[in-house]
Each structure stands twice: as structure tokens, then as C-alpha cells.
Structure 1
Amino acid sequence: MSTTTTDTPAPQQPASPPPSTPTDASQLNTYYTWSTFFNILLSRSTPTETASYFAARDLANEASDCARCTQTVTSLFKTSPIVRFLRDETRALSGGRHSEIGPAQIHCRRCTTRQSGGFDMDYGILLCANHLQSRAQTEDTLAHELVHAYDHLRFDVQRTDLRHQACTEIRASTLSGECRFTREFFGRRQWKVTQQLQECVRRRATLSLMHRPECKDEAHASRIVNEVWESCFRDTRPFDEIYR
């Protein structure tokens, strides 16, 4: 599955909550306190306590987060130009060989890793509802995964080929809008003016590649990204140019 990662390398986390994480509503109040929250802000909590707090918060808000995400996805397929365009382009390539990618193939779930979403041709698109804080972020993430869907249909991307994966990650970060200047400058506090887009795309593609089992380490990921950079960064299909 192709994944959209955050700018900080994701720690290795178990699929299930850590042992200290509460698993029922009666225990959540222990973590859901102002004191815990402020201890995190003041760096007084341990990494385990911080992880437990956020895991508990995500668990408590799972239903509302997923409902909000699903509602946003439905709206985006009706009103977002980039989402509608990519849906139409993937539909044209599918030719009946695969189910059309629409709201029914978008799965909003609570994620325990630091990713925002993922794509699999057989499963569809995963959106990590607990990590998507706004409509704009959801739109960028959905557009990113739709670029992956387009690439898999157009170029027959191989899951275990790191060059293929690097190329589709470069294209998805470039074309989705997640690396546009305002997102980097105000959202991620990346304050460089020159080569901002290129640095963002390289960073995110490298991080995503690092979490694939075929990748040895960061140096390996960076080398693969550099090898395919020129052709993949300049390839804006299905757009005539970088959309935003």
C-alpha cells in the first residue's frame, strides 16, 4: 500500500494500542484531563504518557472523526475541482477493469501510525480520520492518493519496485497541492523561499520510501529518489501543469 507520511519519520508502532492505553470509556477520563494536556505542552510527560494520551484521545473520538471524514469526502467528490478531475481521469483509465474510485472506495479509519492515508488497487483509499484536522488537509491527502490510483492504472506501478514507488510518491506530492508554498510556510513552518516545492517533494517522497520493507535506510531512499527525480518531477500527467 502506498502511504502518505508526515514530515517526521513514523515510529514503529504496534497495530493495537500500547498496553498502558485505556480500552474502555471508563478509563479514558484518567487521560482526558487538563493536567495531562498541560504536562504534554510543558514537556513534563514521558514519551509513553504522551503516546497513551493521544491514543486515548483518538480512541474516544473515533466515531466522530470517521463521521466527519466521511462527510468531507462526500462533499469533496461533489465540489472539489482537483478531486473531481482525478476521479474522472482514473475512471477513463479503468475501462471497467476495476471498480470506479468514488466515495464508496474511500475508507475513513482511525490509524495507529503517523500516516495520513494510503492506497491499494484492490482495497481502495484509506484516510486516517484522526490525523486529518481540516477540509483542506483531507482534500490534499485524497488528491495525493488519487494520483497513486491514476499512476497504478496508467503505468502499472509495481509494489516492490522502489523506483516505481519513488516516482509515484514524487508525482503525488507534486500534483496534490500538499507541498504548495502556503501549506509549507504556515502549516509546517518550512520557511525557505527558494526551491521550497522541490525540497518538500523530496522530503516527503524519501520519508514514504523509507517505510517500505524493500528500503534499507534513509540513504538508500534518498538515492532512489534522486535517480528518478528529473523525469518524475517534470511529469504532470494527467494535468497540463502543476495544478496548485
Structure 2
Amino acid sequence: MDFLTQVFAKASATTETIPAAVVVNDTKPVTDTKESSTPSKEPKEWGYDLYPERRGEVYKPKWSRILMGMEGKENIDRYKCEQNVYWCVKNGPLVKLMMGALRSSGCPMDLRRHISCEVCDPTVTGGYDPVLNQIVVCQNMATNKSMVHGVLTHEMIHMFDYCNNDLDFRNVDHLACTEIRAANLAHCSFLSAMMQGDASPFNVKEAHQNCVKSKALASVLAVRNISHEQAVAAVERVFPKCYADLEPIGRRIRRNSTDQQKAFMEAPMYGYDVY
């Protein structure tokens, strides 16, 4: 718990773009028992404020940013994003593994139905919408194949958890667990932990766990309007069990290694289809 307290203090000084689960209720937040005159509270409570198009809004670029070349290319960005998604589906080992695992679990993916490239808040690179069972790839933030591959793998882990378990995204413990699993399997390595300051030569053994905790905490805080203390408590409660769960990838991926290819080749050994 002391580590997560240090992470929060450090995160308040720097902003990191992260993949996040879009956590929403089918109707309205369970904590809201009275009608409110401020409808903006619901998106803030459940993460929709990070994904404007999820709220039915049409993105309108600003003229000042268009003149500076920073906006106004949304259609081109969406086309490039969709190209990157298609490339990852055909060539990305972990994406292919996850699609095979989803199909084996009875939840096959249709690219046109289950993946959407959209303009998002700059603080996130992707998200998972459990109501529509749809992955959001942020076309304005995930701008290359490597980033799109990471987003798809992360969000497909959320989709896999939703398909195979009685997962309730309104339950903060469930949310923390799936975020721990996604960070554990798709993101963290000793190198990434060093880059974000969670590791040093004196705590190599705990570097990966610390990286997973910090990323899971950041994701929970990004999509749920809860206090830091509540988020830390949720991550700590479920961490031992969820950190040990390596399905369906079967191993923790080391950066600059052949682990991705090995995990893909080992998938049939765990009963998953090869996509």
C-alpha cells in the first residue's frame, strides 16, 4: 500500500496516456438514486467523458488547431487507425492469440462490429465498452502499429474476462482485477518499470509487480469517480489472485524478446484456437 501511495504522489505531477475500460451501467450509476439536474455526472462517474463519441457527440475540431495542423484530419486518422487495426489482426502475435481465445470461449470477434476507431480524450489510448461489447481505439493517440497492438491486446483481455467470467464493471474490485490482468499480461516489463520510475537495481524482484499496480491504479482512477484511497484498497484486495492469473496468454511478456511468438505458438496447448 505504501508503494501505491508513492505512485499517486508521482502521478499527480505527470500525466500518462493509458488504455482504460469504459465502465458504465446499463441505465444509470447504481449510486445515483435521485434524478439530477446535471446529466454530466453520469459520464464522469462511468468514464464516458473520455470517449465523446460514446455519448453520441459529434467531434468538432477548433479552427485554431486546424490552422496549426493539429486537428481537422479526423477522417484520415480514422482510416490510418483502421489500417493499423487490420495489420495487427493479421500480424500481431498477441492480438491473434486473443482473437483465437475469444473464439474458443464462444465470443468470436467481428472487426466491423467489435472494434471502433474514435477521437478520445488525450489521457487515454483506448477503452472497452461492456454495454456494446466493443473496443475503442483512440485514433488521435494510438497512431502507430505498436501502440494499436498494445491497445488491442489490453482491451481484448477485458473482453475475454467479460466473456468468461461473471464480471461486473460496476464492482470496483472486478474492475481492479481485470486492469491488473491487462497490465500484467500486456504492458509491464522491467524496462517499462524503469522508464516510469518504479524499478531500480535494488528492487528488481518487485519491479514487475510495482509496474502492474501503478498501471492498474491509474486505469481505475481514469474511469471511475472514486477516491485514491478506495482505488488503492481495491487494487490491494484483489492483487494476489489476479496477478497470478495468466489466462489466456500463459506467460508474462518481456520486452525485446520472443515471448509474444512463444505465447502464440503455445496457445493450442491451452485449448485455444490459432487465429
Distance (whole Å) between structure 2 residues aligned to residue 228 and residue 82 of structure 1: 25
Distance (whole Å) between structure 2 residues aligned to residue 151 and residue 14 of structure 1: 22
- Superposed CA deviations along residues 146-180 of structure 1, whole A, max 9, x for unmatched, are 0001100111210211111100000011111x222
Distance (whole Å) between structure 1 residues aligned to residue 180 and residue 105 of structure 2: 21
CA shift, 1:136, in A, is 1.3
Number of positions where the alignment pairs a residue of Structure 1 with one of Structure 2: 200
Percent sequence identity over aligned pairs = 24
Alignment partner for residue 60 of structure 1, among 72, 88, 91?
72
- Counterpart residue number, 1:38: none
Distance (whole Å) between structure 2 residues aligned to residue 183 and residue 148 of structure 1: 21
Alignment partner for residue 4 of structure 1, among 16, 19, 23?
19
Correspondences of 1:1-244 after superposition (within 5 Å): 4-5=19-20, 15=52, 23=61, 28-29=66-67, 32=68, 57=70, 59-94=71-106, 100-104=108-112, 105-121=114-130, 122-176=132-186, 178-185=187-194, 188=196, 192-193=200-201, 194=204, 195-213=206-224, 216-244=226-254
TM normalised by structure 2 equals: 0.64
Distance (whole Å) between structure 2 residues aligned to residue 156 and residue 238 of structure 1: 17
Gaps of 5+ in 1: 17-21, 33-55
Higher RCO (CA 8 Å, separation ≥ 6 residues): 2
CA shift, 1:184, in A, is 4.4
Distance (whole Å) between structure 1 residues aligned to residue 220 and residue 75 of structure 2: 31
Distance (whole Å) between structure 1 residues aligned to residue 150 and residue 133 of structure 2: 20
CA shift, 1:61, in A, is 3.0
Distance (whole Å) between structure 2 residues aligned to residue 71 and residue 197 of structure 1: 32
In structure 2, the CA distance between the partners of 1:61 and 1:151, relative to structure 1 (3 Å rule), is: same
Gaps of 5+ in 2: 1-17, 21-46, 54-59, 255-275
In structure 2, the CA distance between the partners of 1:23 and 1:137, relative to structure 1 (3 Å rule), is: closer
1:77, 1:83 within 8 Å by CA — same for their partners in 2? yes
Amino acid in the other structure paired with 1:154 = N
Distance (whole Å) between structure 1 residues aligned to residue 150 and residue 51 of structure 2: 27
- RMSD of the alignment, in Å? 2.8
